[in-house]
């Protein structure tokens, strides 16, 4: 079920730096210590996404990884997006 604007706002308040991008996406850019760490982080994101069957849009730019989430089959943001965002944030802590 697509979240209301109020529900999105509440979820963003509980997030660590995620922002809306239009009405259908949330995004965040992570800065990793090095290019190899950024690639390893993306591999971890891929494993999480496969387990959840909820796949992000990911861009690698040297040691910066930008992640965007939306629930395509629902046409907008759902709780799945915010659950994935929290999982990605927890995973990032492993790559300091």
What CATH number corresponds to the domain at position 50?
Answer: 3.30.1360.20
pLDDT of residue 68: 98
φ, ψ at 56 (rounded to 5°) = -90, 165
pLDDT one-digit tens code per residue, 14-25: 999 999 999 999
Contacts of 72 (CB under 8 A, 6+ apart): none
For residues 78 and 50, is the Cβ–Cβ distance under 8 A? no
What range does the domain containing 9 cover? 5-95
Residue in the structure block whose two tokens are 């591999």: 43
Number of domains into which the chain is organized: 1
Mean pLDDT of the chain: 97
pLDDT one-digit tens code per residue, 27-51: 999 999 999 999 999 999 999 999 9
**Residue percentage of the chain with pLDDT more than 90:** 98
16-22 long-range Cβ contacts below 8 angstroms, 24+ apart = 16/89, 18/82, 18/85, 21/68
């Amino acid at each position: 079920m697509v979240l209301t604007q109020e529900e999105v706002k509440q979820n963003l308040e509980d997030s660590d730096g995620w922002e809306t991008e239009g009405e259908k996406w949330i995004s965040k850019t992570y800065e990793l210590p090095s290019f190899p760490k950024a690639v390893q982080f993306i591999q971890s994101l891929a494993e999480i996404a496969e387990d959840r069957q909820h796949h992000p849009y990911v861009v690698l730019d040297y040691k910066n990884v930008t992640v965007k989430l939306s629930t395509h089959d629902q046409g907008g943001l759902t709780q799945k997006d915010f659950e994935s965002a929290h999982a990605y944030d927890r995973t990032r802590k492993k790559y300091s």
